Structure 1
């Protein structure tokens, strides 16, 4: 299935594409995804908050079943990451000198870049 990608170009002439919309990797891997993508504040903030919330639930729970109530918190964080992840990536790219070139429909980020480059010839 084809999706829409925003193609970016760096000052050094490198191209990269970011899918527009929902980000499954950000949803599934939250803080790990953020750290891999160089979003240190978001990644470390969520990691520290997650550990803190887990410790609080563990310290104040009367049974192991009480810790299940922490699940909605983690799921909510994952949904926020899924909704905003690709936009956060785009903002990071703008901040590091990339410029948006065009929106392309493609099956993958690599195909989006290739499609963009073919159209520039």
Structure 2
């Protein structure tokens, strides 16, 4: 079973089926595409800043290995470890970029594959009721008068009892 995150626009109302047109489903697992293709995977998913950061990181890492005159076997192992790190963090960077663009995480589901995760998350989204804009206003008079001065501190009522 794999975990997936559902990202929807920030202004989407629960239960709104039109919000699912812009939905993004991101797998929370190792990304083989990012492992093999590094910055090209990021550019393919339109993750421009993360892709540029990974591109600079890969080239700077290669130059540092050259400048330090690292043995070729050790350099290959170090480059492989960098690729593994990129594969592990690629989907996290994708979630970060989506949140930055106004698509925060709306739901988290566990499923066997992407199709099942999409069906589960969309069904859970659609069965939610839209929230009301404001709670109903009570017409009863409050039992204690409201304080008009600003509250400073965590327990302003304790100050009155002294």
**TM-score past 0.5 threshold:** yes
**Structure 1 residues 50, 118: closer, same or farther in 2, change over 3 A?**
closer
The unaligned stretches of length 5 or more in structure 1 are none
What is the rounded CA distance, in whole Å, between the counterparts of 1:35 and 1:87 in structure 2? 15
Aligned partner (choices 26, 31, 34) of residue 39 of structure 2: 31
Listed as ranges, the matches of 1:22-101 within 5 Å are 22-51=30-59, 53=62, 57=66, 67-101=72-106
Q: What CA RMSD, in Å, does the superposition of the two structures yield over aligned residues?
A: 2.8
Higher relative contact order (CA 8 A, sep 6+): 1
1:5 aligns to 2:4 (yes or no): yes
Where 2:121 maps in the other structure, the secondary structure is helix
In the alignment of these two chains, the number of paired residues is 115
What is the rounded CA distance, in whole Å, between the counterparts of 1:113 and 1:49 in structure 2? 33
Aligned partner (choices 76, 101, 107) of residue 102 of structure 1: 107
| C-alpha contact 1:16 1:113 (8 A) present in aligned 2 | no
Higher helix proportion: 1
The unaligned stretches of length 5 or more in structure 2 are 12-17, 128-162
| C-alpha contact 1:17 1:113 (8 A) present in aligned 2 | yes
**1:5 positional shift:** 0.7
TM-score by length of 1: 0.72
Aligned partner (choices 103, 108, 111) of residue 116 of structure 2: 111
| Per-residue CA distance 1:87-112 (angstroms, 9 max, x = gap) | 11100110111121211112333431
